[in-house]
Chain A
Amino acid sequence: MRNRINFYLLEYALHSLWRQKSKTLFIGLVLTLLIFLLSALFFIASSIKHELAQSVDALPEITVQKLQGGKHTNIPSSAVDTILSIHGVEDAIARVWGYYYFQKAGVPFVLVGVDPFEEQYKKSLQKIVDNYEISSQEQMLVGRGVYEIFKEHHYEESFNFIKSDGSLYTLPIAGVFTETIELESNDMIILSKQSAREIFAMDADMATDIVVKVANPEEIAMVASKIQLAFPDARIITKEALQISYANIIDYKSGVFLSLFIVSLFTFFMIIYDKLSGLSTQERREIGILKALGWKVELILKEKFYEAALLSFVSYLVGVSVALFYVYILHAPLLRNIFEGYSVLRSSFHLPFVLDFQTLALLFFLSIPLYVAASIIPSWRVATQEADEVMR
């Protein structure tokens, strides 16, 4: 059982690979490319998941949305009082938020109304907003992407929203969110609830939805079912459902991607099998000489295994290294289009790096067993050839 690594054999395997440069290079390149493509996708996915997980604690426990005919509509603010009367509810806030389509650029912004900026509020805001100018009049804070679009259309200081009656509503830009939170804030505009209602033409006693804070996590399910009883037409989203959705967001679809990718993995398997089966006379003679020198079949098999392991190890290292560089330093050009789709407003895609051993292990199991398996039968064919037959 004690399989120690035989360094002479390792050296021999290295040389053997070196002697068949073109073959090694071809197989190595294909394998590297395969690993690179897979790892780039999984790195992006794991980074997005990680980024989402960072902020999930800060989300409210329950969101209540009113549905009408399956469509989300405004909910009367008075529902807040009903919800507050439920035991276990710590706080309920009527939210005003929505999308504003900026026609000239073809970009939808997310407008979020918050309560009037209070003193302590402003202090914490200063941490996330660059060059924040405090003033008492109505103003807005914008994400970096929004600010870029504004500048392109010469709205450097303020922006004119078009209200539903066609009149203009001007808001000065008070600051831009810092780069650190770009992934969260890129297309966001934060303004007062009053301004948001003005732009959306919403009545003062209506809200977009209601968020509920529950202090005890054990009670969330109970509170959620009570709210559902009180408002049968409401869609109730618990934080747990959000968390699962977060995990699903990428997992499910990268699973679909992977299941399609399996086709190319098997194609790869075939190519390797074919390539390794075709032995040159040079190789045949080599094996013949080894056997004539008294090498046992097991030893030759072991040497072939070393070759496969070395080649796949090198390909793994190169593939993963290049993918790391591609995703985290070049910010995944081309591949990011899959994630961004047709969005006009693009973030710079500065994904946070996560040292995720699970992803590395996943990549290992998707590539190396396949290659080693493909090399088993050809190696065995080689190793069991008769010395006299080959050298004749």
Chain B
Amino acid sequence: MNKTTKGLFLFLSILLFVFLGQLGYLFATQSVTQEAKEKKQLFVSLTSLPDLAIATEADYIRHRSMSDYFSLFKEGPFLREYFVSSYLYAPSTQYFTARSYEK
């Protein structure tokens, strides 16, 4: 093993260390604790409303999983989906078909 090899192997192991270290650090500090989970559940059971407050520009996006593809027609019959986030948040295709609760 000469100098370059040692350097390159060192570089590789540093990379691996950074990767694993970051995974470990994030896992230890940023994952959801039991306490936080309880708080979240407490809040959700208080409001009993689904969805996260990430995209908040219109009601059919704010509670996307409770709206359907036709909700946006409330805004006007010719309106297409023009919000960036409505591209990302799909509504469920489930409940305006009655199939989901027919066994």
Contact flag (A, B; Cβ within 8 A)? yes
| Residues 1-30 of chain A, each 1 if its beta carbon lies under 8 Å from chain B, else 0 | 000000000010011001000000000000
Is B8 touching A14 in the complex (CB atoms < 8 A)?
A: yes
Using A60-B48, A108-B57, A342-B83 as known contacts, say yes or no to A240 and B89 having CB atoms under 8 A apart: no
**Once the chains are docked, how many angstroms separate the CA of A11 from the CA of B84?**
49
Confirm or deny: A385 has a beta carbon within 8 angstroms of a beta carbon on chain B: no
**Once the chains are docked, how many angstroms separate the CA of A236 from the CA of B102?**
12
**Once the chains are docked, how many angstroms separate the CA of A72 from the CA of B71?**
9
Q: How far is the CB of B10 from chain A (nearest CB, A)?
A: 11
Is B26 touching A328 in the complex (CB atoms < 8 A)?
A: yes
**Once the chains are docked, how many angstroms separate the CA of A36 from the CA of B61?**
28
Q: How far is the CB of A255 from chain B (nearest CB, A)?
A: 10
Select one of A71, A220, A248, A340 contacting B92, CB under 8 A: A248
Q: How far is the CB of A107 from chain B (nearest CB, A)?
A: 8
Contacts of A11 in B (CB 8 A): 1, 5
Is B53 touching A249 in the complex (CB atoms < 8 A)?
A: no
Using a CB-CB cutoff of 8 Å, which residues 154-202 of chain A contact chain B? 177-178, 180-188, 190
Contacts of A18 in B (CB 8 A): 4, 8
Select one of A15, A63, A112, A128 contacting B66, CB under 8 A: A63
| Residues 7-40 of chain B, each 1 if its beta carbon lies under 8 Å from chain A, else 0 | 0110010011011001100110111100111111
Select one of B16, B50, B53, B64 contacting A185, CB under 8 A: B53
Using A339-B54, A339-B55 as known contacts, say yes or no to A127 and B49 having CB atoms under 8 A apart: no
Select one of B27, B35, B85 contacting A353, CB under 8 A: B27
Using A59-B44, A324-B26 as known contacts, say yes or no to A238 and B88 having CB atoms under 8 A apart: no
Is A177 touching B16 in the complex (CB atoms < 8 A)?
A: no
| Residues 40-65 of chain B, each 1 if its beta carbon lies under 8 Å from chain A, else 0 | 11111111111111111111011011
Contacts of B1 in A (CB 8 A): 11
Is B37 touching A124 in the complex (CB atoms < 8 A)?
A: no
Is B83 touching A110 in the complex (CB atoms < 8 A)?
A: no
Confirm or deny: B79 has a beta carbon within 8 angstroms of a beta carbon on chain A: no
Confirm or deny: B78 has a beta carbon within 8 angstroms of a beta carbon on chain A: no
Is B18 touching A58 in the complex (CB atoms < 8 A)?
A: no
Of the candidate stretches A48-56, A263-271, A287-295, the one touching chain B is A48-56
Using A18-B4, A321-B22 as known contacts, say yes or no to A54 and B40 having CB atoms under 8 A apart: yes
**Once the chains are docked, how many angstroms separate the CA of A354 from the CA of B44?**
21
Q: Is the interface of A mostly helix, strand, loop or mixed?
A: helix
**Once the chains are docked, how many angstroms separate the CA of A63 from the CA of B101?**
13
Contacts of B16 in A (CB 8 A): 317
Is A143 touching B53 in the complex (CB atoms < 8 A)?
A: yes
Using A128-B42, A225-B101, A317-B16 as known contacts, say yes or no to A236 and B47 having CB atoms under 8 A apart: no
Q: How far is the CB of B75 from chain A (nearest CB, A)?
A: 11
Contacts of A93 in B (CB 8 A): 48
Using A63-B66, A221-B103, A342-B84 as known contacts, say yes or no to A186 and B53 having CB atoms under 8 A apart: yes
Of the candidate stretches A297-305, A344-352, A364-372, the one touching chain B is A344-352
Select one of A72, A114, A235, A246 contacting B50, CB under 8 A: A246
Using a CB-CB cutoff of 8 Å, which residues 301-353 of chain A contact chain B? 314, 317-318, 320-321, 324-325, 328, 337-345, 347, 349, 352-353
Confirm or deny: A361 has a beta carbon within 8 angstroms of a beta carbon on chain B: no
Is A242 touching B53 in the complex (CB atoms < 8 A)?
A: no
Using A180-B39, A341-B84 as known contacts, say yes or no to A70 and B59 having CB atoms under 8 A apart: no
Q: How far is the CB of B57 from chain A (nearest CB, A)?
A: 5
Using a CB-CB cutoff of 8 Å, which residues 205-230 of chain A contact chain B? 211, 220-221, 224-225, 228
Contacts of A65 in B (CB 8 A): 66
Using A70-B70, A341-B84 as known contacts, say yes or no to A108 and B56 having CB atoms under 8 A apart: yes
16 A-B pairs in the complex with CB atoms less than 8 angstroms apart: A14-B4, A59-B48, A60-B48, A108-B57, A145-B53, A181-B36, A183-B54, A185-B43, A228-B101, A240-B101, A253-B89, A321-B18, A321-B22, A324-B26, A343-B54, A355-B27
Given A108-B57, A248-B92, 6 more pairs with CB closer than 8 A: A14-B5, A127-B38, A237-B66, A237-B95, A246-B50, A253-B90
B residues with CB within 8 A of A: 1, 4-5, 8-9, 12, 15-16, 18-19, 22-23, 26-27, 29-32, 35-59, 61-62, 64-66, 68, 70-71, 73-74, 83-96, 98, 100-103
A residues with CB within 8 A of B: 11, 14-15, 18, 48, 50-52, 54-60, 63, 65, 70-72, 93, 95, 97, 99, 107-108, 110, 112, 114, 124-125, 127-128, 143, 145, 177-178, 180-188, 190, 211, 220-221, 224-225, 228, 235-238, 240-242, 244-246, 248-250, 252-253, 314, 317-318, 320-321, 324-325, 328, 337-345, 347, 349, 352-355
